[in-house]
Amino acid sequence: MKVPIKISVNRAGYSVEVEPRTTLLELLRETLHLTGTKNGCGRGDCGTCTVLLDGIPVNACLILAVDAQGRAVTTIEGLACGEHLHPLQQSFIEKGAIQCGFCTPAMVLSAKALLDKKPRATREEIKEALSGVLCRCGSYPKIIEAVEAVSQGNDD
């Protein structure tokens, strides 16, 4: 039996019906067609499904859609402002922090949550904030460099 929920995703309101066992990841990818959120392990181990829930990074595969009701969800699709990329997105491109790109949305969102709280984060704080997301390609040095550039105000 499906239940109706109201959810805010990327500053847009949605009224949808979901099965109680539907995860936030499934809602985003299959119902709302926001495929920037990746389905990695499905167990919360890899972090590739990270989204922001009320500004806090969470694994969307571990959150039920019904538990996100009435809360603000931000996916990678919600960061850019029209054609203008978020500074973190731009920095990832400029620093070559993207290889296969599978972890990129989760890395960018995790970094955004950190920099929203601590705009001048240290390298160690950046590493800690990104530690929940695994990169298949091992691009960690460039990813950290990209976040540091924004943290230090060098994203122009």
**DSSP code string of 43-89:** SSSS-TTEEEETTEEEETTTSBGGGGTTSEEE-GGGTSBTTB--HHH
Contact 27, 4 (CB under 8 A): no
For residue 154, pLDDT over 90 is answered with no
CA-angle at 9, arms to 82 and 136, nearest 5°: 80
- Nearest CA to 65 out of 15, 20, 14, 109 is that of 20
- Are both 98 and 35 inside the same structural domain? no
Last residue of a domain, one of 77, 106, 127: 77
Helix H or strand E segment including 12: strand 12-18
- Whether residues 94 and 58 share a domain: the answer is no
pLDDT, mean of residues 58-81: 97
pLDDT in tens, 80-136: 988 999 999 999 999 999 889 999 999 999 999 999 999 999 999 999 999 999 998
pTM: 0.94
- The answer on 105 and 48 residing in a single domain is no
* Residue 119 C-alpha from the chain's centroid: 17
Phi and psi angles of residue 45, each rounded to the nearest 5 degrees, phi first: -85, -35
Q: Domain containing 15 — which CATH number? A: 3.10.20.30
| Structural domain for 41, as ranges | 3-77
For residue 3, give the 3-state DSSP assignment: strand
Identify whether 82 is part of a domain.
no
Which helix (H) or strand (E) segment holds residue 9: the answer is strand 3-9
Among 31-35, 46-50, 135-139, the range scoring the smallest mean pLDDT is 135-139
pLDDT score at 156: 43
Same-domain status, 61 and 105? no
